[in-house]
Chain A
Amino acid sequence: QSALTQPASVSGSPGQSITISCTGTNSDIGGYDYVSWYQQHAGQPPKLLIYDVTDRPSGVSARFSGSKSGNTASLTISGLQAEDEADYYCSSYRSSSTRYVFGTGTTVTVL
């Protein structure tokens, strides 16, 4: 049960926008709108940023937005801030016995 594919690292300067991709298959991202994104700071548990591809839980900044095209989901962070330095993980429902799969993770660096 292979993980979803994310770039290992993405960087940007304060104020810029960056996008993190998450590539899967027709059995997960491409087939269902159950993509979530999580932010994890060092030593902390993951925090839900986006669910159901585009929805934000209350309290999550509008600088975080999600989208999907085909088998690839994306997380965009606008107005990059120093506090956005963290690891980011996507996840998706998968129509196999695996059911719940995470991405490989992306480290975001603010230059």
Chain B
Amino acid sequence: QLQLQESGPGLVKPSETLSLNCSVSGVSITSDDYYWAWIRQPPGKGLEWIGSMYYSGSKFFNPSLKTRVTTSVDTSQNQISLKLTSVTAADTAVYYCARGSGPSGSGKTDNWGQGVLVTVSS
């Protein structure tokens, strides 16, 4: 049974870096049959794709966030990570990690973590 669990600080100061981890259990992250994605949802608003990556190294990012986003895979911990730099209040959101299959890291996102709320405030 695949499970994903996000973790990280719930409060980040403006201009600092948001760092989140997603622990994956029940399956190895080393398969290229799937992508691992980060998706966020501001309070009361819709879903926004941040980026997707494959174990092989292919990565795809939302152009509006690309210059501030870094993602990585840690096979020893079976987890994926997200870093978002220079955050502002607009980055306040529930951040989800998810697994899916489809072209270029999109579509059929069939497993989601519970999400973690990150608030950007001084």
Contact in complex: A45, B113 (CB < 8 Å): yes
**B50 nearest CB neighbor, chain A only:** A100
Number of interface residues of B (CB under 8 A): 25
Interface of A is mostly: strand
Q: Measured between alpha carbons, how far is A51 from B109 in the docked complex, in Å?
A: 9
Q: Does A89 contact B (CB under 8 A)?
A: yes
Interface size on A, residues (CB 8 A): 28
Contact A102–B107 (Cβ < 8 Å): no
A7 within 8 A of B: no
23 chain-A/chain-B pairs, Cβ below 8 angstroms: A32-B103, A34-B103, A34-B108, A45-B96, A45-B112, A48-B108, A48-B110, A51-B108, A57-B110, A91-B107, A91-B109, A93-B102, A93-B103, A93-B107, A99-B104, A99-B106, A100-B60, A100-B104, A100-B105, A100-B107, A102-B47, A102-B49, A104-B46
